[in-house]
């Protein structure tokens, strides 16, 4: 059986994990598989969606909302925010995340910061565990997943807590938006 210590040095080398799995897949126990999964998730900046309840009743609002980010807590609230964005000609960036997801918690403050820097965009946050059926409709396979919507229609998507890529996508949107005239 492969011990946890035998593959921890490989944490910095994703190919090491792949080679380990190829060489001895039958020797991995559930603890080592779980640790490999966790390290790969951290390296990739994503958490794979699953039913997860560790008894942590922490408030999703505290970590994922703030600045100009609105926490969406129902399908009706989602519809209302999309309608508002359409009326105001705003692009929507929706962050589908989970309170138990480390990469989600890591990028949340940055997402809030971006919302404050770009008030011309609408920033939403959806807890995939709170709105399970709704999230399933969006085919969320990993968290965080960011959807970019124009007039309620998805035009781009980013999976993972990739700060440079998120900034790049937001800057491209802001740079392509025509200036709005004051009435």
Q: Which residues pair with 70 in a beta bridge?
A: 124
More confident residue, 7 or 165: 165
Active site residues: 101, 104
Q: CATH 3.40.30.10 in the chain, residues? A: 60-176
**Topology adopted by domain 60-176:** Glutaredoxin (3.40.30)
> Closest Cα to residue 91, out of 18, 159, 165, 170?
170
Contact criterion met (CB below 8 Å) for 145 and 49: no
Q: What is the pLDDT of residues 112-166, one digit of tens each?
A: 999 999 999 999 999 999 999 999 999 999 999 999 999 999 999 999 999 999 9
Mean per-residue pLDDT over the chain, rounded? 77
Name which of 11-15, 92-96, 161-165 the model is least confident about.
11-15
Question: Over 80: is that where the pLDDT of 36 sits?
Answer: no
Q: Which spans in the chain are helix H?
A: 4-7, 14-23, 30-44, 60-64, 75-87, 102-117, 132-137, 163-176
pLDDT band at 79 (very low <50, low <70, confident <90, very high): very high
């Amino acid at each position: 059986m492969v011990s946890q210590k035998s593959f921890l040095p490989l944490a910095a080398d994703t190919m090491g994990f792949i080679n380990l799995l190829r060489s001895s897949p039958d020797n991995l126990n559930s603890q080592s598989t779980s640790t490999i999964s966790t390290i790969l998730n951290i390296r990739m900046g994503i958490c794979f969606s699953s039913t997860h309840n560790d008894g942590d009743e922490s408030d999703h609002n505290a970590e994922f909302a703030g600045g100009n980010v609105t926490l969406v807590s129902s399908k009706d609230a989602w519809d209302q925010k999309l309608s508002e964005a359409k009326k105001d000609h705003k692009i929507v960036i929706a962050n589908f995340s989970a309170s138990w997801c480390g990469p989600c918690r890591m990028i949340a403050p940055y997402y809030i910061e971006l919302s404050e820097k770009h008030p011309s965009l609408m920033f939403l946050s959806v807890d995939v565990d709170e709105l399970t059926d709704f999230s399933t409709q969006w085919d969320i396979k990993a968290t965080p997943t960011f959807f970019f919507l124009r007039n309620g229609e998805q035009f781009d998507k980013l999976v993972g807590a990739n700060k440079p890529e998120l900034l790049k996508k937001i800057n491209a949107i802001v740079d392509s938006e025509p200036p709005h005239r004051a009435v």
